[in-house]
Amino acid sequence: MATTARDKTPGQLFALVFGAVYVLIGLLGFAVTGFDNFFNSSANEILIVFPVNPAHNIVHLLIGAIWLAGSRTVSGAKLANTGIGVAYLAFFVLGLVGALEWLSIESGINADQMLHLVSGGASLYFGTAGATARRPVTA
């Protein structure tokens, strides 16, 4: 029996949607950067408003794949969302001090940092308190 979106928990839906978006962003990133100069942080290659390089694209593909794989089960979604949430919040802190420049992420507060903060916070929420919360059924 196939499962529908109605059968999935909020945590599973979050992991499914964010996983698909991150895989798409990783693939689109390669259209901008190509496949050479993997750790080049000075090429000024921009996807929307975010600087990217091939290493950054691979990170997005991997994170998207983890989210997609986790979305299959309730426990998998909780684990993926919690782990990625903690990782992204750590990336936020590391980015503030300039430890992620090898991924084309400049130090300080910028678009990448805000995305890490929002993605990390939302992911952590859907890995914990919002993982299985259900909305009331309305007629």
| Residue 49 or residue 124, greater confidence | 124
Full residue range of the structural domain in which residue 21 is found? 8-36+45-127
Cα–Cα dist 117/43, whole Å: 25
Residue 135 lies in a domain: no
In tens, the pLDDT along 52-102 reads 889 889 999 999 999 999 999 999 999 999 999 999 999 888 888 877 776
Residue 89 lies in a domain: yes
Q: CA 14, CA 77: separation in Å to the nearest integer?
A: 8
State the Cα–Cα distance between residues 25 and 65, nearest whole angstrom.
12
What percentage of residues in the chain have a pLDDT greater than 70?
Answer: 86
- pLDDT tens, residue by residue, 34-48: 888 777 766 678 888
Residue 16 confidence (pLDDT): 97
Is the Cα torsion angle 121, 123, 124, 128 positive or negative in sign?
Answer: positive
Model confidence at 104, pLDDT cuts 50, 70, 90, reads low
Residue 133 lies in a domain: no
CB atoms within 10 A of CB 131: 21
Least trusted range by pLDDT, from 21-30, 93-102, 120-129: 93-102
Is 132 part of any domain?
Answer: no
Domain count for the chain: 1
pLDDT on residue 1: 41
pLDDT reported for residue 63: 96
Tell how many helices (H) and how many strands (E) occur in the chain.
Answer: 4, 2
